[in-house]
Structure 1
Amino acid sequence: MSVALYEFPLCEKVRNYLRLEHLFARLHEAKSATTENQHLYFLEVLFNMLELLERLDLRTDFLRDIDGHERKLEHWSKHPDIDTEALENALQSLRSLSAEIKKNKKLGANLREEKFLSAIRQRFAIPGGVTSFDVPMLFCWLKQPEQVKQNNMSQWLTQLQLIETTMQTLMSFLREKGRFHETQGVNGYYQSSQVSSDEKLELVRVRCDNADGFYPVLSGSRNRFGIKFMQLNTETGTSTPVTQIVSFAIASC
């Protein structure tokens, strides 16, 4: 079975977290590369990351989310059956992240000020703009020993470590709020039940068999949503609604 997992953010904050998560995954994969073109890909993804960070107020979102999780954990600590050790570890992790973030007024600012990266970044916005005659500085770096390039890339990623760790922690907390359960979409459609105003959803996760070329499309809000399954047609470049029963698993977080 070819199982695919789709995640649909229901607010801008989680949408940004998922984009960051996607970029970090690509960065780590590209870092292990050994060819010049793959190193160029690493830099291209890194500059996409920096561009996204410049548009976001991550510090505010991070601190707000951490504070919310702390309050929930402190509330759960009063439950007689709670795993005290696990709860304390989670609280300590959140408090440590909060303290580090408060020390950094602008997350990722040091990396944005790296002189080498600043000197070559603009060329990556130009199609084909990173040739040896366009950016001889970059071409020289690409010809450096592999260990030199790996050390540079590790250093750049280290400056993003706090962002990555915080984002991973918060997404882990969010995903753990929802447990997958099996359900069906009649005529390819699934309608969620109404969610109370004090527990608005932030993420919907859909796990389904991808072998038949079906994919879900979500519409709605943080209180109520619907999922429509579509049939992929790569030849025409269009998709048509599925009209049969579709079995899948869903988790609302």
Structure 2
Amino acid sequence: MSNKLYFEHPLNERIRTFLRLEHLCEKIEYFRPQPSHWATRAAIESLLDLVTVTSRSDIKNELIRELDRNLVTLQRVRRQPSIDLTVLDTIVTQLETASKNLSQINGQIATLAREDEFLKAIAQRNSIPGGACSFDLPHYHHLLMKSQVVRMQLLERWSTDLTPVNDAIRLVLSLARTSAMPREEKAIQGFFQETLDPAAPAQLVRIGLDADLPYFPEISGHRNRFSIRFLTAEDAQRPIQTRDDISFTLICCIF
């Protein structure tokens, strides 16, 4: 049986931001422990991107509100006979802990990185293509040539206050992703469209596709409707919509 590739599309701005933060946190976690100075560069660039994303709105309070909303939703389903109360109580505890830890962050998310003068200097040059070269930022070059232990300690220090954020986003997105049963659908001549129930707006659409198929989905939509076009791409050519009927797995995440 073929493995499935999953493609996701957010249906509101809040989930869009959470997905971007999840992506950046995963990049930081991946590159931070690697010995190469290029990996350290990649981790720092991801950290600076995260600082930019979290400076646009009050992400911390948005996350806390989302955790609280999930708690209220779970309390509503507690009396349903099919609910496993042991699992439910575990998730409730995780949500309460995540909310408490976020509340204990002073100020904005990523304050330690945001207020660091060294990182500010890198951010100013990083907006220029190739602007973080060794001759542009000799201080940066000096850091990158230090031992892996020293570089990891600095990255740990700058990202200390990101742990509660990362934990909360993973929990919120995990609950959303597992909140609905997958169903099998077919895109006729490579196109599929569905209208959503406004009384139970979906937050996220997930598309599962056999990994060995030469297609990928292009998803567009909002809280009331979404559409999917399955495209093919060969070499460097512009992707085009296939005329084949494509079977795929659809998950509309409502939680």
TM (normalized to structure 1)? Answer: 0.91
1:146 — aligned with what? 148
What does 1:190-205 align with in structure 2 at a 5 Å threshold?
Answer: 190-192=192-194, 194-205=195-206
1:21 maps to what in 2? 22
2: distance between equivalents of 1:55 and 1:70?
Answer: 26
Question: Which whole-Å CA distance do the structure 2 matches of 1:2 and 1:98 have between them?
Answer: 35
The match for 1:122 is: 124
Taking the aligned partners of 1:10 and 1:81, their CA distance within structure 2 comes to: 29
Residue 113 of structure 2, aligned match among 97, 105, 111 = 111
Partner Cα distance (1:212, 1:234) in 2: 15
> Which region of structure 1 is more displaced relative to structure 2, 219-228 or 239-248?
219-228
Question: What's the secondary structure of 1:47's corresponding residue?
Answer: helix
Q: Any gaps of 5 or more consecutive residues in structure 1?
A: none
Which shows bigger deviation, 141-150 or 165-174?
Answer: 141-150
Distance 1:110 1:222 in 2: 35
2:80 aligned partner = 79
Question: Contact between 1:201 and 1:252, CA under 8 Å: does it hold in 2?
Answer: yes
Q: Report the Cα offset of residue 56 of structure 1.
A: 2.9
Letter in 1 for 2:251: A
1:69 Cα deviation after fit: 0.7
Could you give the per-residue CA deviations for residues 109-161 of structure 1, whole angstroms, max 9, x where no partner exists? 22211233223331222222223332221122112222111121222232211
Instruction: Report if aligned partners of 1:111, 1:159 keep a CA contact under 8 Å in 2.
Output: no
| Contact residue 9 and residue 220 of structure 2 kept, 8 A | no
Deviates more, 1:210-219 or 1:169-178: 210-219
Work out the CA distance in 2 between the residues paired with 1:173 and 1:78.
Answer: 19
* Aligned-pair CA distance for 1:171: 0.3
Q: Distance in 2 between matches of 1:83 and 1:143?
A: 53
> Which shows bigger deviation, 123-132 or 243-252?
123-132
Residues 164-198 of structure 1: per-residue CA shift (max 9 Å, x gap): 11111100111111222222111112222x43222
Aligned to 1:156: 158
SS in structure 2 at match of 1:182: strand
Paired with 1:20 and 1:7, the residues of 2 have a C-alpha distance of 14
Partner of 1:50: 51
| CA distance 1:38–1:81, change in 2 (3 Å) | closer
Secondary structure, counterpart of 2:108 in structure 1? coil
**Distance (whole Å) between structure 1 residues aligned to residue 250 and residue 165 of structure 2:** 28
CA distance in 2 between counterparts of 1:4 and 1:155 reads 35
Aligned mates of 1:38, 1:68 — CA distance in 2: 37
Aligned partners of 2:112 and 2:159 also within 8 Å: no
Aligned to 1:178: 180
Structure 1 residues 94 and 148: alpha-carbon distance in aligned structure 2, compared to 1, 3 A threshold? same
1:250 aligns with 2:250: yes
User: Distance in 2 between the 1:218 and 1:37 partners?
Assistant: 33
Gap regions ≥5 residues in structure 2: none
Q: C-alpha distance in 2, partners of 1:208/1:82? A: 30
List, as ranges, runs of 4+ consecutive aligned residues in structure 1 with deviation greater than 4 Å. Answer: none
Q: Is the 8 A contact 2:110 2:159 kept in 1?
A: no
Change (3 A) 1:211 1:150: same
Q: Which moved more, 1:177-186 or 1:9-18?
A: 177-186
CA deviation after TM superposition for structure 1 residue 231, in Å: 1.8
Q: Give how far 1:2 is off.
A: 5.9
Q: CA RMSD in A?
A: 1.8
**1:210 positional shift:** 4.1
- Structure 1 pair 81–2 and aligned structure 2 pair: CA distance change class (3 A): closer
Q: In 2, distance between residues paired with 1:86 and 1:40?
A: 41
Q: Judge conservation of contact 1:2–1:210 (CA < 8 Å) in 2.
A: yes
Residue in 2 that maps onto 1:241: 241
